[in-house]
């Protein structure tokens, strides 16, 4: 009896002060992406409510987030708590979860940990031009706030980094 190969559907979430960016990736296809905004009351509870329909719609078998406790991670306490709440929820629902530090994501995609966020976003727009090219904001100036669309690129970067690292691990195990 042969095992049937099962595609891995990845849901990547990138929480931010405004809400979160998300991306759904399966094999080499970017299935869906976007942002969800949250109000000013209980942002974490509202974020968790908005993650539910994504999970129900796409039924991911892998969840990927930034590791907010990694050395050098500069994330607000609220985002750290939200990330832990998402991980706990995924654990209860038996969805495997991976956490990656920002430098791990940069190294997987750009080949070096010191790559800038905007450089990675440009690479992702080139990899997925149909979906992301027109969403790439202009490079921000030091006095400007980050464009909310960058949350999408963070989520896509997480999903792609997971996929790249998974392929590398598989190729090493075959050697």
Domain count, the chain: 1
Backbone dihedral angles phi then psi of residue 30, each to the nearest 5 degrees: -90, 105
Domain assignment present for residue 3? The answer is no
Domain assignment present for residue 2? The answer is no
Residue 1: band (very low, low, confident or very high) from pLDDT cuts 50, 70, 90: very low
**pLDDT tens, residue by residue, 74-89:** 899 999 999 999 999 9
- Across the beta sheet with 62-66, the strand order is 29-37, 19-26, 9-15, 62-66, 97-100
Please tell me the predicted confidence (pLDDT) of residue 4: 55
Measured CA to CA, the distance from residue 37 to residue 107 in angstroms comes to 29
Tokens of 58: 């796409």
Number of other residues whose CB lies within 10 A of the CB of residue 73? 15
Domain assignment present for residue 4? The answer is no
pTM assigned to the model: 0.92
**pLDDT tens, residue by residue, 21-66:** 999 999 889 999 999 999 878 999 999 999 999 999 999 999 999 9
Domain assignment present for residue 29? The answer is yes
Q: Which residues pair with 24 in a beta bridge?
A: 11, 32
Domain assignment present for residue 85? The answer is yes
Domain assignment present for residue 106? The answer is yes
Measured CA to CA, the distance from residue 153 to residue 115 in angstroms comes to 14
Tokens of 139: 């490079």
Domain assignment present for residue 75? The answer is yes
Domain that includes residue 66, residue range: 9-140+147-174
Domain assignment present for residue 108? The answer is yes
Q: What is the CATH number of the domain that holds 31?
A: 3.30.420.10
Number of other residues whose CB lies within 10 A of the CB of residue 65? 23
């Amino acid at each position: 009896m042969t095992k049937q190969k099962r595609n891995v559907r990845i849901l990547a979430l990138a929480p931010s002060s405004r809400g979160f960016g998300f991306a759904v990736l399966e094999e080499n296809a970017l299935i869906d992406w976007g942002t969800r905004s949250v109000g000013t009351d209980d942002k974490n509870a509202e974020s968790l409510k908005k993650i539910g329909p994504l999970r129900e719609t796409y039924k991911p078998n892998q969840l990927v987030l930034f590791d907010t406790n990694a050395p050098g991670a500069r994330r607000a306490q609220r985002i750290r708590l939200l990330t832990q709440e998402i991980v706990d929820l995924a654990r209860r629902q038996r969805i495997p979860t991976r956490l990656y530090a920002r430098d791990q994501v940069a190294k997987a995609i750009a080949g070096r940990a010191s790559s800038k966020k905007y450089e990675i976003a440009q690479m992702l727009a080139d990899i997925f031009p149909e979906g992301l090219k027109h969403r790439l904001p202009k490079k921000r100036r030091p006095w400007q706030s980050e464009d909310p669309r960058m949350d999408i690129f963070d989520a896509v970067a997480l999903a792609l980094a997971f996929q790249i690292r998974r392929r590398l691990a598989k190729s090493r195990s075959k050697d």
